[in-house]
C-alpha cells in the first residue's frame, strides 16, 4: 500500500556572478559562476537520483530527511568563448592565399567545472522491519555511519572506491541507521568541448560550413556517483563514467 501527503518544504540560496565580454578583435566570451545550496525533504518521486537509486521518506520522522537536494551543486563555473580568427592573408608571406581559404575560420568552446551531486546511501535489506519489498514507495532504511566519510580518487583507489565501505555498517535489526539522507557529495565534472569551423561563402545566400568538433577534448575521466546500497557487493565503488573524448566531423550547406 502507499500513502501520499502534501507536506514538505525546500530551501534554495545562491550567489550568481557572470562576466560577459562583447566581441572585440573577433573575441567574445561569457563566464558564469554559481555558488548554491539546495535543501529539501525529497527531490523527486521516491527521491530517486539519476542512477535510479532511491531512498523513501521516513514516515516516522520526515524532518530527519531534510538534507541536501539530489540536484544540489555547490559550485559551478562555465566559460564559453568564440574567436573569429582574422584573415591570415594579412600575415607577411601568406598574401597569396585565396580569400575563400584564408577567411572564415572560427574557434568556439565551452568549459564546465562543477562540484558533484549528493550520494544516496541506503540499506535494501529491510533491516528496520518497518518496510518490505511490497512497499509501494521506496524503503527508508539506512545503515549506520561509523566513521567520518573520506572521499577517494577512483582512478587510484582499490576497486575504484569513491569512499571506504567500512565507514558504514548495517544497523541493528529493528532500527533505522544514522547515516542520514544524501550525507556527502560525489565526483564532479571537468569537461571541455570545442568546435573548429570554417565558413566558405559562394554567393550572397549560399555558404558551406565545415566543422571539427571535440567533446571532452582533454579526455578527463568523469565519474557517476558510486553505488550507495550497503547490501550491494560493489558498495562504495564507481562503476560508470561519462563518455570519453568524442571527435566528429561535420558539414553544412546553407542556401
Per the listing, cell 576497486 goes with: 159
Say whether pLDDT at 248 is over 90: yes
SS3 category, 209: strand
Instruction: Say if residues 250 and 211 touch (Cβ distance below 8 Å).
Output: yes
Nearest to 219 by CA among 248, 186, 246: 246
**pLDDT for the residue numbered 131:** 85
**pLDDT for the residue numbered 133:** 67
Q: What confidence tens digit (pLDDT) does each residue in 197-208 have?
A: 999 988 888 999
What confidence category does residue 121 fall into, taking pLDDT thresholds of 50, 70 and 90?
very high
**pLDDT for the residue numbered 231:** 95
> Stretch 30-50: mean pLDDT, rounded?
87
**pLDDT for the residue numbered 86:** 86
**pLDDT for the residue numbered 91:** 72
Distance of alpha carbon 225 from alpha carbon 238, whole angstroms: 6
Q: Is residue 189 left, alpha or beta, with left meaning phi > 0 and alpha meaning psi from -120 to 50?
A: beta
Distance of alpha carbon 27 from alpha carbon 14, whole angstroms: 30
First to last CA, the chain: 60
Q: What confidence tens digit (pLDDT) does each residue in 122-137 have?
A: 999 999 999 876 666 6
Nearest to 221 by CA among 155, 143, 133: 155
Q: What confidence tens digit (pLDDT) does each residue in 213-242 have?
A: 999 999 999 999 999 999 999 999 999 999
What confidence category does residue 4 fall into, taking pLDDT thresholds of 50, 70 and 90?
low
Torsion sign across C-alpha atoms 65, 67, 70, 71: positive
What the block records as the C-alpha cell of 83 is 574567436
What confidence category does residue 1 fall into, taking pLDDT thresholds of 50, 70 and 90?
low
What the block records as the C-alpha cell of 205 is 545566400
Say whether pLDDT at 112 is over 60: yes
Half-sphere exposure of 118 (CA within 13 A, CB side): 25
Amino acid at each position: 500500500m502507499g500513502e501520499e501527503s502534501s507536506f514538505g518544504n525546500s530551501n534554495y540560496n545562491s550567489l550568481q556572478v557572470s562576466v560577459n565580454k562583447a566581441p572585440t578583435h573577433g573575441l567574445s566570451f561569457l563566464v558564469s559562476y554559481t555558488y548554491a545550496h539546495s535543501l529539501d525533504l525529497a527531490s523527486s518521486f521516491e527521491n530517486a537520483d539519476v542512477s535510479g537509486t532511491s531512498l523513501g521518506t521516513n514516515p516516522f520522522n520526515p524532518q530527519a530527511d531534510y538534507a541536501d537536494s539530489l540536484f544540489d551543486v555547490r559550485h559551478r563555473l562555465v566559460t564559453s568563448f568564440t574567436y573569429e580568427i582574422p584573415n591570415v592573408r594579412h600575415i607577411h608571406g601568406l598574401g597569396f592565399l585565396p580569400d575563400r581559404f584564408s577567411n572564415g575560420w572560427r574557434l568556439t568552446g565551452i568549459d564546465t567545472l562543477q562540484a558533484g551531486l549528493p550520494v544516496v546511501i541506503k540499506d535494501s535489506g529491510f533491516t528496520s522491519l518497518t518496510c518490505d519489498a511490497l512497499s509501494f514507495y521506496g524503503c527508508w532504511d539506512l545503515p549506520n555511519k561509523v566513521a567520518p566519510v573520506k572521499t577517494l580518487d577512483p582512478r587510484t583507489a582499490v576497486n575504484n572506491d569513491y569512499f571506504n565501505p567500512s565507514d558504514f555498517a548495517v544497523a541493528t535489526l529493528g532500527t533505522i541507521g544514522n547515516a542520514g539522507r544524501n550525507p556527502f557529495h560525489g565526483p564532479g565534472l571537468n569537461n571541455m568541448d570545442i568546435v573548429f569551423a570554417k565558413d566558405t561563402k559562394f554567393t550572397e545566400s549560399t555558404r558551406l560550413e565545415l566543422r571539427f568538433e571535440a567533446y571532452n577534448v582533454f579526455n578527463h575521466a568523469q565519474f557517476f556517483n558510486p553505488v550507495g546500497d550497503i547490501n550491494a557487493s560493489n558498495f562504495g565503488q564507481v562503476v560508470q563514467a561519462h563518455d570519453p573524448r568524442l571527435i566528429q566531423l561535420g558539414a553544412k550547406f546553407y542556401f
